Amino acid sequence: MTRETEQLLRVANHYLAEAKRVLAKTSVSMRHPIRGLLIGPLVAPVAYWIGVIASAWIRDVRLGWFQALRELAVIAAFGLPIAYTAALVWGAPILYALRRLGWLRAETVIVAGAVGGTPLI
């Protein structure tokens, strides 16, 4: 092993140890999982609407307030039932299981949501 490689490994190990120390002191807990389950599905349709409005703006299509709100209503009419169904079918059982296992933290919920949302893409 060359000298540069050894030095690089020492630096990497130092930063890894520092990251572990910081993460050990930081604990993100989920105090209100039901509130998150009820509010969380609102994010996907609203984010999609923001993307649609931004795409229209980039293409120099100017939408009036009424037309933009109508777009939001249509997206919400189709997106909210899908988002809440996914949250209740996948999210609620996962939250229950994570709570029973004592793993109900933001990190595990995010990973479980990503794993559950991957087949939908």
Locate 36 and state its tokens: 């998150």
Q: Which two tokens stand for residue 58?
A: 């980039």
Q: What's the pTM value of the predicted model, to 2 decimals?
A: 0.61
**According to the model, what pLDDT value does residue 30 have?**
62
What does pLDDT average to over the chain? 83
Whether the pLDDT of residue 26 is over 70: the answer is no
Residue 9, both tokens: 């490994």
Tokens of 41: 């599905």
Average pLDDT over residues 75-98: 90
Q: State the average pLDDT over residues 4-21.
A: 75
Could you tell me the residue ranges of all domains in the chain?
A: 30-120
Segment 29-49 shows an average pLDDT of 83
| Residue 11 pLDDT > 80 | no
Q: Using alpha carbons only, what angle is made at residue 20 by residues 15 and 22, rounded to the nearest 5 degrees?
A: 95
Selected residue with higher pLDDT from 36 and 24: 36
Give yes or no for residue 65 having a pLDDT over 70.
yes
Residue 78, pLDDT above cutoff 80: yes
Question: Residue 120 — pLDDT band, cuts 50, 70, 90?
Answer: low
pLDDT at 102: 86
